[in-house]
Amino acid sequence: MNRVLRGVLFASSLLCVPVAAVAQVGHLPEESPYRDLPYKQELGLFSGYYNASEGAAGVAPQSGPMIGARYELRIGGPVQFMARVVNVFSQRTALDPTKPVAERASSTSVNLVLADVGITGNLTGQKSWHGLVPIVQAGLGLASDFQKEDVGGYDFGTPFALTFGTGFRYSRGDRLELRADVTDYLYQLEYPQRYFVANGTQPPILNPAITTEKEWKHNFNFALGLTYHFARQ
């Protein structure tokens, strides 16, 4: 009798295993808040606003609206290679140190172009959560306004830029998604020696006791865009 009872209990425990396993799954696939991201490549267009630092002298390219394009390629797991180019519709002030302070400044329109490559990472892996995919990004690039040296000897040039950012994607698993990004472009401004020398009775543009010839500045980019996915894996 004991052997029969033990056999019944053992068989009952085996039957309970699948039931317990099903109970631990959580959501049925069609009810899960997670959705796979099935595509390997994407192209996106975006626009927004570039919040620039003009530097201590106020002569670097200024804040303005922007447009841009981005390409991404999945290189492994939740990580993508990224290439991006941005055009900022900007202004730049030129300062003539030979003139009185009130007459030194003149302004001109410029196109500030930013180009960088880097990596982006999906914090939810290769899945979205209720359609949302939070992301982080980092890269290295260049910035230029394609202008020559101005009347005061200042030239923005083509400085290297370090980029860091975050944002989120909104995807329902199809080819189109919405995307929002905040990116910091960190680059160096370099001032000519003329900015630190008085001209007769006129004070210098910059005080050498306070400002150095080179300074690193943070410049923030706020963007909204639409992305198209292709090359299903």
**What is the CATH number for 189?**
2.40.160.20
Read off the pLDDT band of 155 (50, 70, 90).
very high
pLDDT of residue 9: 41
Any domain includes 20 = no
Tell me whether residue 217 is in a domain: yes
Q: For the chain, what is the mean pLDDT?
A: 89
4 in a structural domain: no
Looking from the CA of 96 toward its CB, the CA atoms found within 13 Å total 10
Total number of domains constituting the chain? 1
* 30: pLDDT strictly greater than 80: no
Strand partners, 178: 170, 226
For 54, the domain range is 33-232
105 domain-assigned: yes
CB-count burial class (<10 Å; 0-12, 13-18, 19+) for 166: middle
Res 35: pLDDT: 87
Please check the confidence at residue 12 and state whether its pLDDT lies above 50.
no
Does residue 2 fall inside a structural domain? no
Q: How confident is the model at residue 90 (pLDDT cuts 50, 70, 90)?
A: very high
Whole-number Å distance between alpha carbons of 73 and 107: 40
The answer as to whether 19 is a domain residue is no
CA-based end-to-end distance of the chain = 59
pTM: 0.84
Q: How confident is the model at residue 171 (pLDDT cuts 50, 70, 90)?
A: confident
Residue 195's pLDDT band (boundaries 50, 70, 90)? very high
pLDDT for the residue numbered 206 = 96
- For the segment 73-92, the average pLDDT, to the nearest whole number, is 97
